[in-house]
Amino acid sequence: MSHQKKRSNQNSINRGKQEMASKVGTRSIAQIAYDLRDLETGEWPTAMQVWRATYQKADGTWSIQTGEEIMTKLHEAAGIHQEKISSAPVLIVEHFALVLGRKPNHSRGVGIHAVNRLAEERIRLQAQIEASEQREAAAQACADAVEQRAEAAEQRAQALESQVSTVVETNAQLQEEQQSQHDKLSSLRQAQSGEVARLVREELDHQMAELIACIGASQPPTS
């Protein structure tokens, strides 16, 4: 590329920076980048998406003279410096810096410093959210463990109550059977006692009858 061509490109970029500052300001483009984030994943938009959202009109034309040219350079940089961009802490910051340039310790052109602050704030908030989620998960795990122990204790209590109920029921049945056997035995004893008494009386009556008969036979007949 000739020196004149490089100078022309640099002049176009410089004009683009000046037009950006006069039309939207550095804070606005940073805010646009922030607003284009994916709310679910927190992923930042690409530099092309931010550039298009900031400077392309609804009819496809550009609100600044170098809009299309810088968009082309952003696409070229995305292909040439893909690894460098993807390894940067904030992809969009590195991408814009490769196309629009930057000075040491100084952010320029598209509100890179503001985007950095937003990225740092997002990381800080994300860390707080993750820490809160971890604490919530730990608390939930503790609550689950307590609930499991309570359920286990309740199950043991129910099992013990069932065992006690079974013992009481079995004991009642044994007492009932014992009483029934006692009643049968008493009845049998009464029956046996009555039978013995009857047999004794019969035997006694028989012996008395024999004795009387013998006495009568031994006496002489009367004249």
- Overall pTM > 0.95: no
Q: Specify whether the CB–CB gap between 53 and 32 falls below 8 A.
A: yes
Do the domain assignments include residue 31?
yes
Is residue 132 in some structural domain?
Answer: no
- Residue 219 in domain: no
pLDDT given at position 22: 37
The parts of the chain modelled with pLDDT lower than 50 are 13, 15, 17-27, 104-110
- So what's the pLDDT on residue 73? 92
- The answer to whether residue 74 sits within a structural domain is yes
- Written in H, E and C, the secondary structure of 130-172 is HHHHHHHHHHHHHHHHHHHHHHHHHHHHHHHHHHHHHHHHHHH
pLDDT at 5: 53
Give the count of domains, the chain: 1
